[in-house]
Copies of this chain bind each other. A is one copy, B any other.
Amino acid sequence: MYKRIRDLREDRDMTQKQLAEYLNISQATYSRYESGNLDVPSSVLIKLSEFYKVSIDYILGQTNISKRPTEK
């Protein structure tokens, strides 16, 4: 379910450590998100959506269109 979270990071040539720092969590926790061992909290989904500028639906594999909804 969280394959896209890894793909998004790798596409930007970023490390798990960098993402963990951005999210203010340990690298071990971040790594468990990517591997699917730990559910990604909604607050983290929102932060990742803001960071990568993609929709949460895209992050969770519900669409192949990455763009975020424009109107708030």
Residues of A within 8 A of B (CB): 1-2, 39-43, 45-46, 49, 55-58, 60, 62-65, 68-72
Contact = CB atoms under 8 A, between A and B. Distances in A.
How many copies are assembled? 2
A66 B66 CA distance: 16
Contacts of A55: 55-57, 62, 69
A63 to B, nearest CB: 3
Contacts of A57: 49, 55-57, 68-69
Given A45-B45, A58-B69, 7 more contacts: A42-B60, A49-B62, A56-B62, A57-B57, A62-B68, A63-B69, A63-B71
Contact of A62 (B39, B40, B64, B69): B69
